[in-house]
Structure 1
Amino acid sequence: MSSHKKELTNQNESGNIRKMSLCERMFFMSPVCTVMMAARITGQVDTTRFQKALDAVTGIHPLLRAKIVFDQDHEAFFSTDHVRSIPIRIISRLSDNQWMDEIKREARIPFKLEEGPLIKCILLHSPDVSDLLVLCNHSICDGMALAIFIRDLLELYQDPDKKIEVIHPPDAMNILKPGFSIQGLIGQIFASYTNWKWRKNPYYFGSEEYSTLYSSYWNDKKPGFVLFEFDLTESERLIAICRDHEVSIGSAFSVASLCAYEEICGEFPRSKQKIMMPFDLRRREHVEDVFCLCVGSIHFPFNYSRDKTFWQNAASFHQETHSRLSSKKLPGIQIPPFDLSLMDAIVSYSAFVHRVSRTNTLNENLRKFSEDTHNVAWSLTKNFENSIPCLVPTNLGNIEFSESYGDVKLEQLVFLPSSSELNPLILGGVGARGRVVFSLQFVDPPSGTTTSPESEMIQIRNRALELLGFPEKSHQKPVEEKCQPSMEKDTR
């Protein structure tokens, strides 16, 4: 056994939910895999009642109260044994934009994988308006899961005596199984050979390495985002414009952002001219509203044609995605059967350990791995980074919420997919209560090293708004604004 292997917790305890799938494993230790959502709530929120609803919702969705446990073979399991309730911080709400600073600050703090839970909340509270911020490890959720969580939480807030029925989290890889393909067979053969090379000199990563890498990576960086916000009237107009051009809102935003990016930042290399579009398996495969990672994705080449109008490009994009998503034979979730520890190394550690400032200290295991650049994981990571598409658009579509929940109402949702330096364009969209909001993600580099992408992202947003028919909404204000000092109390 390699000297790099650590003592791992034995998976032999109560509260076991199930083994983590390969798909979930890809997302649980990366420093850029925290998914977030913000919900604006109007009306007087009773904080005691709200916390009771927060405790109750974990009875519906087991992964809301889960931790990660490894066995002796480094298999990872979700377990609810001795996991505390979802932590929530309640802060005085002092401004409309305060939530942006709070969510960016909280996103830089790692989860405690071995203790759980893998989700946390902040409530910016005032007598008339409150902002609920939810941050979650991507291994247990996707964007739709966060919307489901907020909806179920509000329903339990309205009706504390509502009957609780457990919805067990499925493994998405069992819902959308890949069929036989030559490409899949080649992938299996390649993975077998690579695993053989890796096992000659493996490294094993756990909660200590995750926490060290996460904290070090975000120590001198911060996540950023630029928002497209539409009120009720503007949202209705946007829907009408897209309908007139026979494209979806998601297609229009995807192509507008892509066109704007290339006009402002330059065209993507041919190898990057491809799209990875996640889609919700719940709606596709008629799965109940369960909280977990339950997405598939389609991949296809696409480049913006300057010989066509914007709306013609949007129509081509829409036709391509509609054709692929409406197919009865989706490709399934295809992940080469890499050794689990190698999977961790490729997508979480070798992709980011060299992006940590030298002023930050790595633990001994990570330091040795970072210096072992002849290890097979490094060449695989280079291939992995080269294959990353130019655009990852996620549009959750319209989420159905009730008109009100007792004396409070949901006014707006903002979906913030994880930020990454590896992805040039990450787009998150959601509609709720008739309002459409999209976001563009980026990572702010250490101050004084390179220029923040924020100004370019603002230009991209403004140009995209012009293409969509809303030039009057363009503005030069930065997304991030300083919030005033607030009094905070920790309620856990």
Structure 2
Amino acid sequence: MKRNLLFLERVLFGDGSEPFHGVYALKITGDLDAGQLTAALARLQEKYAMLRTAIGIDAHGRPYFHMPMARPAIPLRIIERTGDEDWNHETVHELGKSFDIANGPLLRIAWLRSDRVSDLIMAFHHCMCDGGSGVALLTDLLALLDDPQADIGKAPAFQSISELVPAEILNSRRNRFKARLSAALVHAGLSLGSLFISTKTKPAPRATDYLINWKLDAERSKALFGYCKKEGVTVNTAIGLALLEAFKTVNGAGAHGKATCPVDIRRYMPEVKRDMLFSYGLALNIGLAQSIGNSFWEKAKTLQTHVSAQMAKLNPYEFTMIMEASHGSVHKLRRFLTYAKVGNDFMFSNMGKLDIPAQYRHFRVDTIYSPTVIGPFANPNTIITTTFGGQMDFSFVSNEQFLPRETALQIRDIAMKILFETVTEPDPVRL
């Protein structure tokens, strides 16, 4: 396998020196064996070609995925587990630790081991894999740990954009012209914007990154789901609005009143299969300016109208074609994302229910913590939620110098209070 990185893969990759990783962590009760875990990781590499790749740079400075002559195994680090917070510290460690880009692979595992309880931490480079792909990897890994002979199939992979965009769309003269024009406008905008960007102020050092995690119990989670359905508002919109209002309450005039919400591209592009390792998605924007009303749920409904209109316009094929016509702007975009003035408060993603079993023959998955992702860009605030075992789980990652941890905790508490004031009794957070 050898292919050039797509435009957005290059944005996530940068020059390979800065970590831009996603991390999953889960807690398991039962017996795990080091030999069986190593064998399971080898089976994953057999299924997923991308787990056998490294990244090289061609003569024109463009990065490409390729398979080295020697295929390094997926690294496995074993640490003795001393308590229930070890996973948090190790997750932050994995977020900031670079991969061996030149030799690969771009995934590694840390096993926090004790007599009966283990934490597994799976880290991957975001240029190779997103949160949805991470679910597929975890599903297969757990199946193999339970049954080394489990049939996990063979994962599809793509070699070029022609395998993602239907030929009638990709080869349309109108579409190609529109993509080139849009890319030229993007380039012009970034060129103009770069005149006002100073690189003197560096992003905060990664050593001050942190992770805050919390859960809603099953009763609270069910109540929120039901209330959102009754009001005709998605859970994503309701939580996003509560977080926006919390940022505004805590930061006052320093809040931007805006957030970005990734959208799983698999919902719109069937060419990206469930177990195809893919790194980027679509996005929509939410803001307090679109939330009009006297009560929280009135505001949520008006914001939902705005969100639904954006969702209806999402076009993954047009988006991908524009991005692929924009390779000449990749360094300008990276510079803008790293040094330009921050314009939104956070990135928020609700990945919904994780389709992963809790009970296996030889162990039980007690919890799956929501994945985390953080990179070298100016705004590190990222909040991700998932649901496992009927409980919503939240991960909030940021950087102490950008947003002090104590401030993030205030935002969390206020957001949850706002969200549940009319749903159930207050104070839904279980720390």
Map 1:284-433 → 2, pairs under 5 A: 284-286=268-270, 287-300=272-285, 302-304=287-289, 305=291, 307-327=293-313, 329=315, 332-333=319-320, 334-335=322-323, 337-339=325-327, 343-344=330-331, 346-347=333-334, 352=338, 382=340, 385=341, 388-413=343-368, 414-418=370-374, 422-423=378-379, 425-433=381-389
Provide the residue aligned with 2:58 in structure 1.
71
Aligned residue-pair number = 403
Retained in 1: the 8 A contact 2:51–2:105? yes
Provide the residue aligned with 1:49 in structure 2.
36
**CA distance in structure 1 between the partners assigned to 2:189 and 2:214 by the alignment:** 43
Q: Structure 1: which amino acid aligns with 2:398? A: F
**CA distance in structure 2 between the partners assigned to 1:421 and 1:288 by the alignment:** 29
Q: Confirm or deny that 1:21 pairs with 2:18.
A: no
**CA distance in structure 1 between the partners assigned to 2:90 and 2:301 by the alignment:** 38
* Structure that is richer in helix per residue: 2
Report the CA distance between 1:329 and its aligned residue: 4.6
The verdict on how the C-alpha distance between 1:237 and 1:220 changes in structure 2, with shifts beyond 3 A counting, is closer
Provide the residue aligned with 2:228 in structure 1.
242
The verdict on how the C-alpha distance between 1:77 and 1:442 changes in structure 2, with shifts beyond 3 A counting, is same
Q: Decide which of 398, 405, 426 is 1:442's aligned counterpart.
A: 398
Provide the residue aligned with 2:250 in structure 1.
264
**CA distance in structure 2 between the partners assigned to 1:170 and 1:434 by the alignment:** 35
Report the CA distance between 1:274 and its aligned residue: 4.3
Provide the residue aligned with 2:143 in structure 1.
155
Structure 1 gap ranges (5+):
1-15, 198-215, 353-380, 478-492
The verdict on how the C-alpha distance between 1:191 and 1:350 changes in structure 2, with shifts beyond 3 A counting, is closer
Deviates more, 1:296-305 or 1:409-418: 296-305
CA RMSD across the alignment: 3.3
The verdict on how the C-alpha distance between 1:443 and 1:80 changes in structure 2, with shifts beyond 3 A counting, is same
* 3-state SS of 1:107 partner: helix
The verdict on how the C-alpha distance between 1:101 and 1:294 changes in structure 2, with shifts beyond 3 A counting, is closer
**CA distance in structure 2 between the partners assigned to 1:102 and 1:37 by the alignment:** 11
Retained in 1: the 8 A contact 2:284–2:307? no
The verdict on how the C-alpha distance between 1:261 and 1:171 changes in structure 2, with shifts beyond 3 A counting, is farther
Retained in 1: the 8 A contact 2:263–2:284? no
Retained in 1: the 8 A contact 2:96–2:206? no
Report the CA distance between 1:180 and its aligned residue: 4.1
Retained in 1: the 8 A contact 2:19–2:99? no
**CA distance in structure 2 between the partners assigned to 1:86 and 1:55 by the alignment:** 7
* TM-score (ref. length: structure 2): 0.82
Q: Structure 1: which amino acid aligns with 2:111? A: L
Give deviations 1:397-454, integer Å, cap 9, x for gaps: 1121124232112222221122566237422111223221122221123xxxx8x610
* 3-state SS of 1:59 partner: helix
Retained in 2: the 8 A contact 1:420–1:443? no
Give deviations 1:62-84, integer Å, cap 9, x for gaps: 11222101222223221122231
Provide the residue aligned with 2:207 in structure 1.
221
**CA distance in structure 1 between the partners assigned to 2:292 and 2:59 by the alignment:** 55
Retained in 1: the 8 A contact 2:216–2:428? no
The verdict on how the C-alpha distance between 1:424 and 1:407 changes in structure 2, with shifts beyond 3 A counting, is closer
Give deviations 1:332-387, integer Å, cap 9, x for gaps: 234374455x624641x6765xxxxxxxxxxxxxxxxxxxxxxxxxxxx64xx56x
Provide the residue aligned with 1:134 in structure 2.
122
The verdict on how the C-alpha distance between 1:405 and 1:217 changes in structure 2, with shifts beyond 3 A counting, is farther
Q: Decide which of 74, 87, 106 is 1:99's aligned counterpart.
A: 87
**CA distance in structure 2 between the partners assigned to 1:455 and 1:196 by the alignment:** 37
* 3-state SS of 1:237 partner: helix
**CA distance in structure 2 between the partners assigned to 1:58 and 1:460 by the alignment:** 40
Q: Decide which of 170, 173, 181 is 2:158's aligned counterpart.
A: 170
Give deviations 1:117-165, integer Å, cap 9, x for gaps: 1111111112322111112111001111111111110111222123353
Q: Decide which of 418, 441, 455 is 2:406's aligned counterpart.
A: 455
**CA distance in structure 2 between the partners assigned to 1:23 and 1:83 by the alignment:** 26
Give deviations 1:81-108, integer Å, cap 9, x for gaps: 2231111111111111111111212322
The verdict on how the C-alpha distance between 1:56 and 1:401 changes in structure 2, with shifts beyond 3 A counting, is same
Retained in 2: the 8 A contact 1:145–1:292? yes
**CA distance in structure 1 between the partners assigned to 2:299 and 2:285 by the alignment:** 15
Q: Confirm or deny that 1:276 pairs with 2:260.
A: yes
Provide the residue aligned with 1:485 in structure 2.
none
Retained in 1: the 8 A contact 2:383–2:397? yes
Report the CA distance between 1:218 and its aligned residue: 7.5
**CA distance in structure 2 between the partners assigned to 1:419 and 1:294 by the alignment:** 14
The verdict on how the C-alpha distance between 1:138 and 1:60 changes in structure 2, with shifts beyond 3 A counting, is same
The verdict on how the C-alpha distance between 1:57 and 1:395 changes in structure 2, with shifts beyond 3 A counting, is same
Q: Decide which of 402, 417, 427 is 1:466's aligned counterpart.
A: 417
* 3-state SS of 1:436 partner: strand
The verdict on how the C-alpha distance between 1:259 and 1:421 changes in structure 2, with shifts beyond 3 A counting, is farther
* TM-score (ref. length: structure 1): 0.72
**CA distance in structure 1 between the partners assigned to 2:159 and 2:286 by the alignment:** 28
The verdict on how the C-alpha distance between 1:170 and 1:262 changes in structure 2, with shifts beyond 3 A counting, is farther
Provide the residue aligned with 1:371 in structure 2.
none
**CA distance in structure 2 between the partners assigned to 1:264 and 1:194 by the alignment:** 33
Report the CA distance between 1:238 and its aligned residue: 2.6
The verdict on how the C-alpha distance between 1:264 and 1:420 changes in structure 2, with shifts beyond 3 A counting, is farther
* 3-state SS of 1:26 partner: helix
The verdict on how the C-alpha distance between 1:406 and 1:260 changes in structure 2, with shifts beyond 3 A counting, is same
Structure 2 gap ranges (5+):
193-201
